[in-house]
C-alpha cells in the first residue's frame, strides 16, 4: 500500500500506461449514472479549473469539453477520487442529454436473456 496516496490528502492520480484515468459521471440531483469516460492530466486540470467536465477522447486522441458543440455541458458539483487514486467520480449538473445519441444517459440499454432492451429514461 502507498500510504500517502491511499490515505493522504495530496492529489496524486495514478494514470494508466496511456496517461489516462477513468471518470464515472453521475447526476448530482438523482444519482443516475450518466457516462464513463477518461481523463488525462490536462483534462483533469481543466475540469478543476473551470468547473466543467473535460475528457480525453481515446478514439479521436484529443481533449474535449463535454457539451462544447451540443451545449450539453456537465457542470461539476463534486469531484472525488478513489482510495488508490486511479478512478474519478464526478457528480454533475447535466445541461441536457449526456449521451451523443441524445439519450439522457449513455446507459440506456439493459442486457437480458433475450438480448438488449431499452431502459425507461426515468429509471
CATH superfamily entry for domain 3-118: Phosphoribosyl-AMP cyclohydrolase (3.10.20.810)
Distant-in-sequence, close-in-space partners of 108: CB < 8 Å, separation ≥ 6: 99, 101, 118, 119, 121
Q: What is the model's pTM?
A: 0.91
116 confidence band (pLDDT: 50, 70, 90): very high
- Report the pLDDT value the prediction gives residue 121, as an integer from 0 to 100: 65
% of the chain surpassing 90 pLDDT = 89
86 annotated ligand-binding residue: yes
Q: Is the dihedral of CA 68, 90, 85, 5 positive or negative?
A: positive
Alpha-carbon distance of 46 to 55, in angstroms, equals 9
99 annotated ligand-binding residue: yes
Smallest CA-to-CA distance from 32 within 116, 94, 88 is with 94
Q: Where are the domains of the chain?
A: 3-118
Alpha-carbon distance of 97 to 22, in angstroms, equals 21
84 annotated ligand-binding residue: yes
27 annotated ligand-binding residue: no
67: left (phi over 0), alpha (psi -120 to 50) or beta: left
Amino acid at each position: 500500500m502507498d500510504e500517502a496516496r491511499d490515505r493522504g490528502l495530496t492529489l496524486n492520480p495514478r494514470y494508466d500506461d496511456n496517461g489516462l484515468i477513468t471518470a464515472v459521471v453521475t447526476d448530482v440531483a438523482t444519482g443516475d449514472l450518466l457516462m464513463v469516460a477518461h481523463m488525462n492530466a490536462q483534462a483533469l486540470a481543466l475540469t478543476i479549473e473551470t468547473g466543467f467536465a473535460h475528457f480525453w477522447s481515446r478514439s479521436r486522441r484529443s481533449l474535449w469539453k463535454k457539451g462544447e458543440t451540443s451545449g450539453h455541458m456537465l457542470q461539476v458539483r463534486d469531484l472525488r477520487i478513489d482510495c488508490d487514486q486511479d478512478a474519478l467520480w464526478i457528480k454533475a449538473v447535466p445541461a441536457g442529454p449526456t449521451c451523443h445519441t441524445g439519450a439522457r444517459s449513455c446507459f440506456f440499454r439493459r442486457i437480458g436473456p433475450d438480448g438488449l432492451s431499452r431502459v425507461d429514461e426515468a429509471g
